Structure 1
Amino acid sequence: MSDPNSSSSQVAQPNLSASAVLGLRNQGDAEWVRLRGLQFSALAGQTFHRVYAHAVMAVLVAQLYFEHISLVWLVGWVAALALINFRGTRFDRSLANTDRRALQPTEFFQQTINSVVSGMLWSVPILFFAPLGSAGDLAALLLILAMLTLGSITFYSAAPAAVASLTALVGLATATHLIIFEMWFLAVCSGFFTVTALLGTITVCRTFLKARLAECNLAEKEEVVSLLLREFEENEADWLWEIDTNRKLRSISPRFAFALGYRQEEAEGKPLMELISSKNCKPSDYAPSLRELAGRLKHRENFSNLLVHVTINGDERWWELSGTPMRDDRDRFVGFRGVGSDVTEQRESSEKIAYLARYDTLTSLPNRLQLHEALGDALSYAAQWRTRCALMMVDLDRFKAVNDSLGHMTGDKLLAQVSSRLQSILGKDQMCGRLGGDEFAIVIRDASNSDRIEDIARKVIATLSEPYEVDQHTLYVGASVGSAYGPRDGDTVEELMRNADLALYRAKDTGGGAHCRFEPALHASAEERRRLEASLRQAILSDEFVLHYQPVVDARSEKIVSFEALVRWNSPEHGFVSPGKFIPLAEDTRLIVPIGRWVLQQACMEARAWPEHVKVNVNVSPEQLLEPHFHEEVIEALATSGLRPERLEVEVTESIFVRDATTARNSLEQIMALGCSVALDDFGTGYSSLGYLRTLRFSTIKVDRSFVQGAAQKSNESLAIINAVVAMAKSLDMTTTAEGVETPEEAELIRNLGCDKIQGFYFGRPMVKEDARRLFKRHTRQLKAG
């Protein structure tokens, strides 16, 4: 059997059938083991009554047949009975601890065998002594055996199997004797008595066992309650309290006295409210929670988990109290008793959590959640009073460059200064919060004056555009603002925020540093962008792109030295889509990566059909260069097409060095190591820095078409820039390519300025691959004709 202590702390009362009571059925689980243990643990207390009853009855039987039975037989019978009772007594006492341990099957069997042997010994008088006595002696013997049976049932109920064995054996012996001597009526009565006694044994033993179960469960409950109370009292934060009818403390526990800041004997008998309120504080001046506590005590009402703001020796704390009125046996009110705990730390933690849930930890501004709530209130107010509210979305310009160049810690300090400036310019009924990253929002409750919104936007842009001093760095960022009015531009929080965001995108698209109001047309633009993005994704799968090639010629001989591969998209849904429209979208959505991979592969394949001296120029987006395995894509394109690496020139813009200069440089160095050349496109129009010209060996610097057009218009600045670029390129052993040459005059000017190569409409527009091949054929025919 398993250890009973492994069972639950409470023993449920199972279905106590007759076989279960007698121990003839055992389910083998811990509860039934406990059941047997509860039975047999009570035997030690009942064994005295059993021995006493057996001794008295044995003496009576011996006296009854003293004159009829040999003394040797009587003494032997009494001695055997005494021996089995002595042995049984010792064994019963060894079972006193079975309520705390497992009762072994051998112990149950041995205890039952003792009773069987005892029953067999008590069968001797009726079977062997009674025939030698008179009828009166028989009647007296039957009475003695009946008394023994009833006594066993009454005083030995802890061992139902033993009692049943004794009763059955004695009853069987009695019936046998009466039948032998043809006392049929008495035999029937004896049998009826035996059956009744057996049923009584089961009933009495079942009642006893249930009482033992209830007693055990009650004891365990009392032990658990005592343990819980002891642990509760010993806990540093919890205590018991009690007051009398005058609300004075009584039976104060040490822990509660400590919570009150007094010694136990000092706090005894003092008014509770006086000890937990401010010094000389009148009841009318109590804090709301203290007034509620005083009211509950006055009206003798139960209260549970009442949060009370108390003052203990000048120190403000928060207590959680529960109490119930006490009444005596005559139902008279005698005071209150309850439990309490100091929840100051928990409350402070809860307040901190609530703060973190509604405020941004970096800037201490309201976060998105609180902004949502404030905007919802503003919309409700505008709907109620038929006025307008407004939402302004603010996004910092050039903030990413700060993070990329100086790190996120510097960026966080900059954001903290931005939030301080925003708070300083806002007035009443205006809330500024941080949505995330470098994006902020301003909720304006009353926006009935549209000029006021314009003034706030201008002030925000001007204030945030002033220089910042962060860690000995002077930083410059700007701001773009988009605004939407409620309920005109949206009658829900989500709609208004979406529309203000659309206006912000328009402000960013214009170059930043501007304020744009929401217009319904922006929805159409956003929807067009969404549809265009969906079509662009489908275009990649449907092979809707085509490459055009624009020639690049030698400035002196005007021979073709390379072609620049330019991707074009003719959408079945949108028609011809300008590269200036879908390329930025592809870069925003990172679709430029698979598009660029396709362009690289197709351009290399086509270049294999050109003369060996002609290169192919492929534009590579910053998004592609940031891919960790971009150089492997170049290797794959060269290997698949069979194009020599020297015939591939990768064109990049200066913007690659703004995002992640290290990754971009590593990618380009790996490409150069293959033998490919790298051209720097649009030089001078972006974030120009001569640093990367020193660290990377570009093969070509391309002069932007804006400088070419400026030089053609006699712009001294453009002429100076081109001259400087040409001189620098020669000193660094690089070539120069002038873009956007459209007239003979521009071509002659570029030649005179010293550029090595020319690209533009004058020498050829972007063309399909078949037209590009025909150029080579025409050139070959001209050579043959010459």
Structure 2
Amino acid sequence: MDDGVTGQTTSQFAAPRIDARALLGLYDPADATDWAPIRAAQVNAAGRLVLLLLAANLLGTVLVATLFAGSVPSWQLGGWGAAVIATATVVTIRRLGARGRTERDVSLRDVQRTFVDGIALGLVWGAAPLLFGLRAEPAALLALSSVLAVLMAAAAIAMAALPLATLLFLALVGGASAATFVLRGFDTVAVTTVLFTVLLMAACFLRCRAVVVIRAGEIALAERDETVSLLLRETEEENTADWLWEIDAQRRVVRASPRFARSIGVDPGTINGKGFLEILAGPTWEGGNFAAGLRDLADKLKAREAFRDLLLPVYVDGVERWWEMSASPRFLEDRGFVGFRGVGSDVTEQRASADKINRMARYDTLTGLPNRLQIYETLGRAMQEADKWGSRCAFMMIDLDRFKAVNDTLGHPVGDRLLGRVSERLKTLMSDNEMIGRLGGDEFAVVVRDATDSAALERLAHRIIGTLSAPYDVDQHTLFIGASVGLAVGPRDGRTPEMLIRSADLALYRSKDAGGGVFHAYEPQLHLRAEERRVLEMALRGALEKNQLHLAYQPVVNAGTGTLTGFEALLRWTHPELGSISPGKFIPLAEEARLIAPIGEWVLRTACEEAASWNNQVRIAVNVSAEQLHNPGYVAIVANALASSGLRADRLELEVTESVFMREGTGATQTLEKLLDLGIRLSLDDFGTGYSSLGYLSRTRFSSIKIDRSFVQGASKGVKEALAIIRAVVALAQSLGMATTAEGVETEDEHRLVQLLGCNKVQGFYFGRPLPVEEARALATDRAAESRAA
């Protein structure tokens, strides 16, 4: 480049070569390297760690005083301690005073003055082993050497930026320690001390050299940036997106770049000399309604601080544009501060793209609601405000009831449109105090910023449930779903967003567990229940391998004769520590934890093997989960269980519930048909407690329908609805050629009633509780004897 423009621009730090004598501060080399900024970096680096050095000195003094208290005259120990503390304090004050100095006010003499610090500290600490160690016990001498070793290591860290001062300190302390060991006859320890001291000195020198190399690289980078800026100023091309700007100490534009003038929409010939901030503020200058970015820029210019990538809005011809500004202050040796020089870019398009990406990252694409990330951020801010003002915020989790059935029966496109309708209804319920968002799937969440009114929270929850439970018309389908809500209030129910979300989730789980369509607030015992479920799940995962599961067999008898016709295999779990666990607890847990498939297969095989040893007229009934039937390989599992046990297929009855048919397209119906082709029998369990659709009965060849015990007990008490339901089910079964089994028969009156109503088979405590395998086997043997006698 022309020297008349830039002068010599070759960086002397392109490949740094560090003179060791200059590094130590012994002289200022007469080469092209400017050592002033390097010396400033050394002084500032030493000042940043001087408090660590002071702490090490104070702690070491206390340890030595404690170590030799009683064995050394107190005046001698106190005088030495006072000398150490005084010296360390003076050094600290000197170093703190030197922090922040620039290359213009750090000379070679300033660095050389630090030699005195190292010598002074070395002398007071080197005196310790000579004063106290020559007469000390070996153990005390060893402890003293340990303290000195730690102190030397701390000095090597804190004082390394000023190497000669540190080397002098290490040499004096290490030399005094080694001399003491020699005088005491510990030559080996003396050699070790010398080696340790030499290693610390080498590490100190290398660390200082690293500081110098880093600073040299920074200087080279600064020179390169200055050169590039000047090159850009002289050789700007018409299509370049960036432009240069420069202002004087009074913040007036000087030597304006033509592109800068065109970017702001003014004549390049008239922009010089105008106020920089006034030009950028445009029409907002008179009113004083400045953007935050412009205020930040003004603060940086006032403080004479360099800045980078500062974003601010600028109005050009009435249109808002976004600029990104970077600049550094300029100083001259004879004039001091002369202004700023920087570069600007129009980043309007990039900002628009970034805003779009940011929106995509924080909003749900299906519903347009805030997504999980923005919900979490909003909740975090609400909790901060609540903590700041001593108020409360709240978090609601909303889960749609029966939404899964819509997806499974009508398909995901209909389910997606339904979610859109749900989000529209939720938005109408929100005020400025709440934010609604979608967590994912069919889960939504509400952040309530001010939750001091607990009654308002409850009203909002009930409005959400009522609004979402109203029917929806989607693609010519009238859909009915509901909603369950869990509420947690912060900071009472959680001090962090994670804890509050967890508490709301537990409250929601309680609402779902209660059947859905309800609202529950968090209670502390919910954590205990969750922990109990966790412990139970962990135990259940090993129950099968540890032989903790077993089967009980409940008799099923002919309603008219009381003759045994079969058994229902019932799963039981006895834990060595938790005892007997109710199936009502662990069966749903097994389904949620995806453990029902291996457990169900074990039940099937065990029941078939046992039934194969009974009388040929006695059947075995096994309950089958919907999850098992959705497995395409379940038919092969059943066939294998029959083949390995030798049980006839017509003696096996699989009991299924209506939930099997709630997921269309999963192949459950085809699986049942294939099972029927094997020759087994099917029974529809708990009929009347669910949807009770006649379509299930027409599509699948059931051999029997089981009437739930709740209807049997209701009928025995004269409940008209229960009597009517039993009569209807019996009539339906008879018309379809199916048998009926009444469950839960516990008294003679209930037996006579269901017999009178036309039920074919009964089971319940009146005819026998679930029996252990030995008793069931004996009962089956008696049935065989009765058959032979007949």
TM-score by length of 2: 0.63
- Say yes or no: does 1:597 pair with 2:601: yes
SS in 1 for 2:759: coil
Equivalence map 1:670-681=2 (5 Å): 670-681=674-685
Counterpart residue number, 1:478? 482
Partner of 1:766: 770
In structure 2, give the amino acid aligned to 1:252: P
Residues 245 and 344 in structure 2, CA contact (< 8 A), matched pair in contact too: no
Q: Contact 2:739/2:760 (CA < 8 Å) preserved in 1?
A: yes
CA shift for structure 1 position 652: 0.6
Q: CA deviation at 1:380?
A: 4.1
How far did residue 547 of structure 1 move?
0.9
How many Å apart are 1:506 and its aligned residue?
1.7
Equivalent in the alignment of 1:460:
464
In structure 2, how many angstroms separate the alpha carbons of the residues matched to 1:712 and 1:703?
14
Matched residue count: 566
1:668 aligns with 2:672: yes
**Distance in 2 separating the partners of 1:637 and 1:237:** 78
Cα distance in 2 for partners of 1:565, 1:512 equals: 31
Structure 1 residues 784 and 396: CA distance shift in structure 2, 3 A: closer
1:732 alignment partner in structure 2: 736
Q: Deviations over 1:172-208 (max 9, x none)?
A: xxxxxxxxxxxxxxxxxxxxxxxxxxxxxxxxxxxxx
Bigger mean CA offset, 337-346 vs 229-238: 229-238
User: Which amino acid is the alignment partner of residue 598 of structure 1?
Assistant: W
Question: Where does 1:71-150 land on structure 2 (aligned, <5 Å)?
Answer: none
Residue 343 and residue 708 in structure 1: after superposition, are their counterparts in 2 closer, same or farther (change >3 A)? same
Residue 586 of structure 1 pairs with residue 583 of structure 2: no
CA contact (8 A) 1:307 1:318 kept: yes
2:712 matched to 1:708?
A: yes
1:30-54 CA-partner distances (Å, limit 9, x unpaired): xxxxxxxxxxxxxxxxxxxxxxxxx
Q: Does 1:526 align with 2:530?
A: yes
Look up the equivalent residue of 1:721 and give its one-letter code.
I
Verify the 8 A CA contact 1:552 1:759 in the aligned structure 2: yes
Of 518, 526, 529, 1:514 maps to: 518
Q: Contact 2:471 / 2:481 at 8 angstroms: preserved in 1?
A: yes
1:554 corresponds in structure 2 to 558
Question: Cα distance 1:235–1:581, how it changes in 2: closer, same or farther (>3 A)?
Answer: farther
Structure 1 distance, partners of 2:699, 2:789, is 48
Assess, with a 3 A threshold, how the Cα gap between structure 1 residues 640 and 779 changes in structure 2: closer, same or farther: closer
Distance 1:344 1:380, change over 3 A: closer
- The residue aligned with 2:127 is none
Instruction: Give per-residue Cα distances to partners, 1:378-415, cap 9 Å, x unaligned.
Output: 44444444444433333222222222223333333333
> How many angstroms apart in 1 are the aligned matches of 2:581 and 2:299?
77
What CA distance in whole angstroms lies between the structure 2 residues aligned with 1:476 and 1:301? 63
Residue 252 (1) aligns with residue 258 (2)? yes
Give 1:240 shift: 3.6
Pairing 1:636–2:640 present: yes
Alpha-carbon distance between aligned partners in 2 of 1:505 and 1:681, rounded to the nearest angstrom: 26
Deviation readout 1:712-736 (Å, 9 max, x if unpaired):
3444433333333333333333332
Following superposition, the deviation at residue 318 of structure 1 comes to 1.5
SS in 2 for 1:549: strand
Residue in 1 that maps onto 2:782: 778
Task: Pick one of 561, 569, 573 that aligns with 2:573.
Answer: 569
After TM superposition, list the pairs within 5 Å mapping 1:24-423 onto structure 2. 236=239, 238-241=241-244, 247=253, 252=258, 270=271, 278=282, 282=286, 284=288, 287-290=291-294, 304-322=308-326, 339-423=343-427
Root-mean-square deviation (CA), in Å?
Answer: 4.0
**Counterpart position of 2:626:** 622
What secondary structure sits across from 2:782 in the alignment? helix
Q: 1:542 aligns to what SS in structure 2?
A: coil
Cα drift, residue 290 of structure 1: 4.9
Contact between 2:243 and 2:257, CA under 8 Å: does it hold in 1?
no
Give the letter aligned to residue 783 of structure 2. H
**Which shifted more, 285-294 or 738-747?**
285-294
Counterpart of 1:132 in structure 2 is none
Helix, strand or coil at the partner of 2:591: helix
- Using the TM superposition, name which of 533-542 and 513-522 deviates more: 513-522
Deviates more, 1:447-456 or 1:561-570: 447-456
Range that drifts further, 455-464 or 568-577: 455-464
Whether the 8 Å CA contact 1:394–1:504 is kept in 2: the answer is yes
- The answer for the alignment partner of 1:433 in structure 2 is 437
Distance in 1 (CA, whole Å) between partners of 2:389 and 2:396 is 21
Q: What is the deviation of 1:505?
A: 1.7
- 1:491 to 2:495 alignment: yes
Q: CA deviation at 1:362?
A: 3.4
In structure 2, what is the equivalent of residue 610 of structure 1? 614
The SS at the match of 1:741 is coil
Residues in 2 aligned to 1:666 and 1:236: alpha-carbon distance in whole angstroms: 68
Q: What's the CA shift string for 1:226-261, capped at 9, x where partnerless?
A: 9x96999669562444679873776636xx787567
1:232·1:238 contact (CA, 8 Å) conserved in 2? Answer: no
Output the TM-score relative to the length of structure 1: 0.63
1:630-666: CA deviation from partner (whole Å, max 9, x where unpaired):
1121122112112222221111100111134542112
Measured after TM superposition, the shift of residue 785 of structure 1 is 6.0
Aligned to 2:555, what secondary structure does the other structure show?
Answer: strand
C-alpha contact (below 8 Å) 1:242/1:335 kept by paired residues? no
- Offset of 1:377 from its aligned partner? 4.1
State the distance in 2 between where 1:400 and 1:784 align. 53
The match for 1:79 is none
Q: Deviations over 1:155-176 (max 9, x none)?
A: xxxxxxxxxxxxxxxxxxxxxx
Q: Cα gap change, 1:739/1:297 in structure 2, threshold over 3 Å: closer, same or farther?
A: closer
Change over 3 Å in CA distance of 1:238–1:643 after alignment to 2: same
Q: Which amino acid aligns with 1:602?
A: T
**How far does residue 685 in structure 1 lie from its aligned partner after superposition?**
1.2
Which protein shows a greater Rg? 1
Provide the identity percentage.
55
**Structure 1 residues 469 and 483: alpha-carbon distance in aligned structure 2, compared to 1, 3 A threshold:** same
Task: Find the aligned partners of 1:324 and 1:488 in 2 and give their Cα distance.
Answer: 49
What do residues 670-699 of structure 1 show as CA deviations (whole Å, max 9, x unaligned)?
222222222111112112222232222222
Distance 1:325 1:780 in 2: 105
In structure 2, C-alpha distance between the alignment counterparts of 1:708 and 1:784, rounded to whole Å: 34
Write the distance in 2 (CA, Å) between the matches of 1:367 and 1:780: 66
Q: Which amino acid aligns with 1:493?
A: P
Q: Closer, same or farther in 2 for the Cα pair 1:723/1:280, shift >3 Å?
A: closer
* Alpha-carbon distance change, 738 to 230 in structure 1, aligned in 2, over 3 angstroms: farther
CA shift at 1:306, angstroms?
3.6
Aligned to 1:539: 543
Tell me by how many angstroms 1:582 deviates: 1.3
Distance 1:581 1:257 in 2: 76
Greater Cα shift, 316-325 or 229-238: 229-238
Q: Which amino acid aligns with 2:606?
A: Q
The alignment partner of 1:540 has SS state of coil
Give 3-state SS (helix, strand or coil) of 2:642's partner. helix
Q: Which runs of 5+ in 2 are unaligned?
A: 1-13, 18-223
What is the CA-CA distance between 1:621 and the residue it aligns to?
A: 0.6
- Aligned equivalents of 1:239 and 1:456: distance in 2? 53
Segments of structure 1 that go 5 or more residues without pairing to the other structure are 1-11, 16-220
Deviates more, 1:289-298 or 1:377-386: 289-298
SS at structure 1 position matched to 2:465: helix
Instruction: Look up the SS of the partner of 2:489 in the other structure.
Output: strand
